[in-house]
Amino acid sequence: EEPPSSPASAWLAEWKFDGIRGQLISRAGEAFLWSRGEELINDSFPELIHASTALPDGTVLDGEILVWPPEADLPAPFALLQRRLGRKTPGKKLLAECPAAFVAYDLLEWGCDDWRPRPLSQRRAALEQLLHTLPEATPTPAAGLLRLSPRLPLEDWQQLEPLRQQAASAAAEGLMLKQLESPYLAGRRRGHWWKHKRDPYSLDAVLLYAQAGSGRRANLFTDYTFGLWDQPPGAPNATDGEPAQLVSFAKAYSGLDDGEITALDRWIRSHTTERFGPVRAVQPLQVFELAFEGLQRSSRHKSGIAVRFPRIARWRRDKPAHEADTLASALALLESAP
């Protein structure tokens, strides 16, 4: 998205954390935690329901649900939150290994009054006042579980890019910019809220398999599987003396334009080496730059690594397959991630 045109001082900057959106409600002696998909998830996050007992009656918070141990400075990777999702009643072991926190960034109701029409500047000031008094009033239920989304320094637009570059070290996806005089609006807030995400991770991978798509692309090969080398091709220090092999790494379905899809479809049909039902193996010759939002270790994947939101950034027609990246390159990215 394009950056806003008004002065930077008219905007609030926050980290865009990689969690799930939620609303925490304390009303009439009861607590409710709703997901963005309008699903009641009280049983999935019992520690947050317990923490909400520290909130005064008639309070509604908007924020992000993350795995964030109380003693940690940064939230945990999304992979740990995934372990909590879909678990209606998490056990003690999971609660201990993946403790959740609610990072509040907006106040929608306070003292049973609807604060949504008020400007963000007022809602933020009240939210800060509310959360800063909680530890003094009730140190046990909310300690480390109800957190205030940090406000980042932004007085000039020249500060924006350096802040964005710091997102990875803050375990964030990027920045959120919010107009201080804006009311709270449901749905997409284009014009009032802006995402400014950090650059994605990327690796060059080799096309290994292809499968036909669906709908209007059912007759075209549009679903692709890519691989990385298990060691540099021709590496003299290979421990077992075996030549380098390509290992399946990620699947991607988007990123190519119609012309590229058509050209690649023709190439796949003329370079098929094997067929496995709807899947075709192809000669490992085409290199693509893959972009993705994160990596995690995974025993379910042959490569030992799972990637989040993979997509094709570009078709590297200029690069031979032996120059594609290795699993070691992916592991280096994983180790460098916060």
Q: How many helices (H) and strands (E) does the chain have?
A: 7, 18
User: Which tokens sit at 38?
Assistant: 């309008």
Continuous H helices in the chain: 46-51, 78-84, 92-97, 120-137, 160-165, 258-270, 327-336
| Single-letter amino acid code for the residue at 70 | P
User: Is pLDDT larger for residue 246 or for residue 237?
Assistant: 246
pLDDT tens for residues 42-71? 999 999 999 999 999 999 999 999 999 988
- Is 135 in the same domain as 260? no
Q: Is 88 one of the catalytic residues?
A: no
Q: Does some domain include residue 180?
A: no
Could you tell me the CATH number of the domain that includes residue 42? 3.30.470.30
Q: Are residues 85 and 144 in the same domain?
A: yes
Q: So what's the pLDDT on residue 235?
A: 59
Query: Contact at 8 Å (CB) between 265 and 220?
Result: yes
Q: Which of 9-23, 131-145, 279-293 has the lowest mean pLDDT?
A: 131-145
How many structural domains are present in the chain? 2
Band the pLDDT of 218: cuts 50, 70, 90: confident
Q: Which domain holds residue 61?
A: 17-150
Does some domain include residue 272?
yes
Q: What is the pLDDT of residue 187?
A: 65
Active-site choice (16, 93, 195, 319): 16
* SS3 label, residue 150: coil
Tell me, yes or no, whether 191 lies in a domain: no
On whether both 243 and 135 belong to a single domain, the answer is no
Q: 295: domain CATH number?
A: 2.40.50.140
The two structure tokens encoding residue 334: 């994983």
Residues 205, 142, single domain; the answer is: no
The answer to whether residue 42 sits within a structural domain is yes
Task: Give me the pLDDT at residue 133, please.
Answer: 84
User: What string of DSSP letters covers 86-119?
Assistant: T-SS--HHHHHHS-EEEEEEEEEEETTEE-TTS-
pLDDT tens profile 242-271: 789 999 999 999 999 999 999 999 999 999
Q: Is 87 a member of any domain?
A: yes
Confidence of residue 139 (pLDDT cuts 50, 70, 90): very low
d(CA 235, CA 138): 61
Q: Give residues with Cβ within 8 angstroms of 255, minimum separation 6.
A: 291, 311, 312, 313, 314
Q: Exposed (0-12), middle (13-18) or buried (19+): which is 283, by Cβ within 10 Å?
A: middle
Q: Within a domain: residue 115? A: yes
**155 within domain boundaries:** no
Q: How far apart are CA 184 and CA 163, in angstroms?
A: 25
Nearest-CA neighbor of 334 among 288, 313, 303, 302?
303
Listed in order, strand segments (DSSP E) in 119-253 are 146-148, 172-179, 193-197, 201-212, 221-229, 246-252
Amino acid at 109: E
Judgement on whether residues 89 and 214 belong to the same structural domain of the protein = no
pTM for this prediction: 0.73
What's the pLDDT tens digit per position in 68-86? 998 899 999 888 898 898 7
